Amino acid sequence: MKSQRWGYPMANRLPNAIGIDTDSPIEFSFNGRRYTGLQGDTLASALLANHQRIIGRSFKYHRPRGILSIGSEEPAALVTLGTGAQAEPNTKATTVMLRQGMAASSQNCWPSPRFDLMAINGLFAPFFVAGFYYKTFMRPASAWEPLYERVIRRAAGLGKAPDGPDPDRYGQIEASCDVLVIGGGAAGLEAARTAAATGADVMVAEERAWFGGQLALAPALVNGQAGQDWVEQTVRELEGQPNVRLLKETAAYGLYDDKVVGLIETVASDAPSGARQRSWVVRPKQVIFATGAIEQPLAFVGNDLPGVMLAGAALGYAFRFGVAPGKAVLLAGGDEQIVQTALSLKQLGVHVVGVVDSRQTPPSDGMARLADAGIPYHVGCVIGRARGWQSVAGAEIVPLEGTAARMNERQSVRCDTVAVSGGWQPSVHLQCHLGGRPGFDQTHGIFLPPELGEGFQTVGRAAGVINDGDWGPVDRLRVFPAAGGGKRFIDWQHDVTVEDVELAYREGYRSVEHLKRYTTLGMGTDQGKTSNILGLHALATVLGSSVAEAGTTTFRPPYIPITFGALTAAERDRDFRPVRRAPAEAAHRALGAEMITAGLWYRPRVYPQPGESAAHAVRREAAQVRATVGVVDVSTLGKIALVGPDAPEVVNRLYANGMKTLPPGKARYGLMLRDDGLIMDDGTVARFDTDRYLLTTTTANAALVLSHIEFLLETAWVDLQAMAISVSDHWAAFAIAGPQSRAVVQALLPEEDLSAEALPFLGVRETLFEGKDCLVMRNSYSGELAFEVYVTADHGLRLWEQILQVGQAYSITPYGTEAMATLRIEKGHIAGPELDGRVTADDVGLARMVARRKPCVGQALRHRPGLQKPNRPRLVGLLPMDSQAPLKAGSLLRPIGAQEGGDAIEGHVTSVTFSPAMDSMIALGMLTRGDARHGEIIEIWDGLANQTFTVKVVPPVFVDPQGERLHG
């Protein structure tokens, strides 16, 4: 068929292809030149249709490289997609679906793939053998860094990595299912259908952009029905079931412990998410491997020329894409499938010039069918050499066995394509990622996946389950004798040859693992999918052993190359760590808040008014809270729901102070110790029912505390029935503090009785705010009358706006983390700077809180002698003699007039602020025997600025030490 309809001569196109839309042309470019393909094409099929046979150059010798395969096993047709920062090197043209405007270019060549100056390396092929680098760059040793290393690094690699930030977006999804089917061929679809019929939640991951596997690449019948029709019918059936999820262009790249599977999904550029790829982490209960089999090449002189391709790939391009692999195709193999492939190609309109069959006595029906089709049949022969300069121009056929005279009976055949099949090898890579080794099937000469135990199953071709005629016999010859000299390639990407294997053997590298590293066999982007079997046959030949005795190398993730961006997703640049945003963040920013990170959260630091400095704003906010009322967003605090019949016992063991007597409807300040007796965290424990609690933690320690509780429940307290669940994201929370706080909350919840009698200090209540679940807790970390109000996160912004609205009558002011720190330092409340992992309850003045008799975490080890020494640093307040002294946290404490040196240091400053209530700078610190030194004058030494300040040691509570304001 010839046509100008799509803007180029379509001599390579065939009619009746199943996978393309002839009415939907797609423009793309290759090496700067514009071409046209069709909807449904891969980049590889579009290039073949446009007569582009030389795609790039090989790594070592810079030999021309064309298209060998039709899937992710492709070792040769590597291109760079895109330009600039969006360039993606080392992409397999066989796996890329053609899209409008796609730009691709050859790599590892200059100035072009047809004329590459580095091809001069081929002239030095006798020197560039296995181990070349190890043998050459040894002397003089002084030349390694200034010369050898630079030359090697410049020559190493394939495509060039982009040097700019990646502008693309990527997504990450975590999922679970009952059954994950890897592979969407006939076996995978049937397995999915069977599993779905039981009601199981099923996912199917298919790396290609279509389902059907080999049924989509070759004509076949399934129960008397055309294979493609069966595939479409089955896919429609599965798509109509709510418990089935089908994923195309989604490759499984790794199998990990506990059945965790990593997937990479390629997303269309016009996807609603705007993402280019998605990384999936799937946790299925059962994994079914339907990964199929990979056709293997043959080793003969010139087998790396563009135009040499796998027979199954040649048929796939013709059947699915309507692209003739060549104008004159010669097929070579050694089983009945090569005969059927030749007949199918002929029927599709491809000119087949012959079939070369290494079998001495093939079945007679195949010979008859080829004769009827007019296809020459060369029995008991192999390809001796593929002829041509930059691509195949012909081939020499030689008898495999016989007298020396017959060995000279060579036949020369004119062809531009040699389609070869060295049999099919089950894809066992994923199944081996957990450390298992494949076993060898002597009958069929194939490696089979290891047994993985319960929860894993391999089906279809991946398990070796197909007709015997499709597998080659164990003595199949894949490595042909060299005909008249020349290189027989095993690894198309790294230019590893049969001769390299023989050399490695002579030099003592006879272990398959040593061979791999010495020759770089199978270490390319294809991970040896088309080279490992050839390499093992070559090694077995020189060892004089079987392929099974030669062994296999270790398979490791990833199964395919993975874009770094897909693994990191949003975790890059400023988002290297995931960002968490409180529900009212937009409102804070609208009020001019300066935001600060607190753990993974963004929190308002301060709300400066126009023309106001941040320092002045902090003082204003803190003073307003003490004078009238203020509101602060505390949604970022860790919040853990603890439920279950044994929840009271769990709470009592978790906290150092007594919790069993806490009645429903009340809260209590709690101190949590580590196993070693030091303080882990503090927070509030609120009890809403006999078996239902809400625990709050500091923002930074929320995940740590939850992990701590889960660990204890799953290991140490297995007899207790309770469950801890993070609800930090479920609740938005705001603390309303100050003398007028009760009036504000009462206006917010007019139907509630919030009097001191109805809701006393540390009382909690469940209610509703505008129909949404709401919690009210009488609690304070500012030393003022205060309430914490919780509402579901989706109503958090509304609650914030209402607080500000009803609070206008009371001159309410929003305050940030800096003013909150000022208020807590004035009251001597400990926080992160004091809880640095080195202090005990005694050190911070909370010894009376710790129950003496009840068992709890940390109770035993807190009595260690080292933690009871009287000279341990204790929490104190520090009041400078100069009220404006620029004190700094981290400064050291020492006696007046002490000289520099470690022996004079008696502690350090933990927290510093300017106190509007005291009209002075104040600080908290840890001072040796500090609780016994109130009234003493000491010195603060700022070693970095080399400044000293005189301060008075005082109790840590600066404001309202009797707590009268707290109780309102």
In one letter, which amino acid is 695?
L
Token digits of residue 545: 């052993």
Handedness of CA 587, 588, 593, 594 (dihedral sign): negative
What pLDDT is stored for residue 595 in this prediction?
A: 94
Q: Is the pLDDT of residue 542 over 80?
A: yes
In the chain, which residues fall in CATH 2.40.30.110? Answer: 869-962
The more confidently predicted of residues 213 and 474 is 213
User: What are the pLDDT digits (tens) for 421-476?
Assistant: 999 999 999 999 998 999 998 888 899 999 999 999 999 999 988 654 455 543 44
Q: Residue 86's pLDDT is what?
A: 85
More confident of the two residues 348 and 119: 348
* Structure confidence by residue, pLDDT tens digits, 217-256: 999 999 889 999 999 999 999 999 999 999 999 999 999 9
pLDDT of 61: 85
What pLDDT does 2 receive?
Answer: 38
Instruction: Please name the amino acid found at residue 535.
Output: G
The pLDDT mean for the chain works out to 90
Q: Does residue 795 have a pLDDT over 90?
A: yes
Phi/psi for 801 (5° steps) reads -65, -40
Q: Across the chain, which distance is largest between two alpha carbons, in Å?
A: 115
For CATH 3.50.50.60, the residue range(s) in the chain are: 298-421
What average pLDDT score do residues 132-159 get? 75
Please state the separation of Cα 4 from the chain's center in Å: 46
pLDDT at position 481 over 80: no
Mean pLDDT of the region 187-194: 97
∠379-385-391 over CA atoms, to 5°? 120
Cis amide linkage into residue 15, ω under 30° from 0: no
Residues 6+ apart with CB under 8 A from 184: 204, 205, 206, 208, 211, 212, 213, 246, 248, 290
Q: What is the pLDDT of residue 4?
A: 36
Long-range Cβ contact pairs of 895-900 (< 8 A, separation 24 or more): 895/938, 895/939, 896/937, 896/938, 896/939, 896/950, 897/939, 898/939
Q: What pLDDT, in 10s, does the model give residues 466-479? A: 654 455 543 445 77
Least confident segment among 260-269, 725-734, 917-926: 260-269
Q: What b/e sequence results for 511-522 when a residue is b if at least 16 CB atoms lie within 10 Å of its CB, and e otherwise?
A: ebeebbebbbbb
Percentage of the chain exceeding pLDDT 90: 72
- pLDDT above 50 for 656: yes
Q: Looking at residue 6, what is its pLDDT?
A: 37
Q: What is the pTM of this model?
A: 0.70
Q: Which two tokens stand for residue 538?
A: 């070559």
- Name the superfamily (CATH) of residues 869-962: Aminomethyltransferase beta-barrel domains (2.40.30.110)
Give the range among 119-133, 486-500, 632-646, 869-883 with minimum mean pLDDT: 119-133
What is the three-state SS of 270-312? CCCCCCCEEEEEEEEEEEEECCCEEECCCECECCCCCCEEEHH
Is the pLDDT at 274 greater than 70? The verdict is no
In this prediction, residue 5 carries a pLDDT of 39
- 626 contacts 784 by C-beta, under 8 angstroms: yes
Residues of the chain with CATH 3.30.70.1400: 637-727+838-867
β-pair partners for 964? none
Q: Has residue 123 got a pLDDT over 80?
A: no
465 vs 38, 230, 548, CA distance in Å?
35, 19, 20
- Asked whether the CA dihedral 107, 110, 111, 117 is positive or negative, the reply is negative
Backbone angles phi, psi at 31, to 5 degrees: 55, 40
Output phi, psi for 225, to 5 deg: -105, 145
Pick the CATH number of 637-727+838-867 from 3.30.70.1400, 3.30.1330.40, 3.30.430.20, 3.40.50.300: 3.30.70.1400
Tell me phi and psi for residue 692, to 5 degrees: -140, 120
Name beta bridge partners: 772: 769
Q: Which residues contact 679 (CB under 8 A, 6 or more apart)?
A: 671, 672, 673, 835, 839, 840, 841, 844
- Every domain of the chain with CATH number 3.10.20.440 lies at 21-155
| Average of per-residue pLDDT across 651-658 | 96
CATH of domain 21-155: 3.10.20.440
Q: In angstroms, rounded to a whole number, what is the distance separating the alpha carbons of residues 443 and 838?
A: 67
- Rounded to an integer, the average pLDDT of 123-127 is 66
CATH superfamily to which 298-421 belongs:
FAD/NAD(P)-binding domain (3.50.50.60)
> Cα(266)–Cα(278) distance, rounded to whole angstroms?
7
